[in-house]
Amino acid sequence: MPLALTHARYQLLETVRIPIAIFGSAFFPAAAMLFFVVPFGGKDPVGATFATASMVTFSVMSANIFQYGIGVAEDRAQPWDPFTRTLPAGPAPRFAGRISAGLVITYLSLIPVVVIAATLTEARIAPGAFLLALATVGLISVPFTLMGLSIGYALPSKAAIVVAQLVFFPLAFGGGLLSAPGAAPGFIESIAPYLPTRGAVELMWAAVGDHSVNPWSLVMLGVWVVVLAALAAWAYRRDEGRRFS
């Protein structure tokens, strides 16, 4: 545990030195809140609450895909990374520290969205539901963390930047994050249950309001977690083998 906390502190200090990383994760969801949710749905308490949950999911996805996908790829290019892999503590403290720091950054990136919802819309949430939503954020971070790790360990930094950008917006649009529950265009509603973003946002909708989760979306979210975990493990072992073969 102390080693994991040390690694987490190191990761957070690196991020604080370049705060644009947190700003970038928070910008698009906050901008979407200001330009779309506030003027068009801000007066409807139910709609504004669900829209805020969607933007929270948007922010969670953005923070994790980019910070792990690009951050891991950039770390691999530094001399420090292969050195840490030779230490007797093994990879577990580094992974635990990176994940812990990533969760902190994820929660920080949600602050603008929550503040905008609380001050500029009629979104309302009970204290118990708010705590449930906070816990749900940690849960839905899992598939996007694994996706980011897969990209980061499989690709060099320049390619990781491109791939992270290519997967980000299609997942957001295809998962229905920019529409109210059940209000997306027909073709979006058809493909959404098969994407991890849909299962994630449905969990957020259920946490903040009266929404019945589509069981198929949860099944597919579980499938995505298993597949992405296997992909991340394969990418890490392949990178490890290339460095020490």
pLDDT given for residue 83 in this prediction:
63
- Residue ranges of domains in the chain: 3-244
34-58 average pLDDT score: 86
Does residue 244 have a pLDDT over 60? Answer: no
Per-residue pLDDT tens for 203-215? Answer: 999 999 888 999 9
Per-residue pLDDT tens for 48-85? Answer: 899 999 999 998 998 889 888 888 888 777 766 666 66
What the block records as the tokens of 223 is 């499938």
Residues 134, 229: Cα–Cα separation, whole Å: 23
What the block records as the tokens of 186 is 């027909």
Percent of the chain's residues with pLDDT above 70: 84
pLDDT given for residue 15 in this prediction:
67
Q: What is the pTM of this model?
A: 0.88
Vertex 221 angle, CA 216 and 153, to 5°: 155
Residues 211, 146: Cα–Cα separation, whole Å: 27
What the block records as the tokens of 147 is 């996706």
pLDDT given for residue 81 in this prediction:
65
Of the two residues 159 and 6, the one the predictor is more confident about is: 159
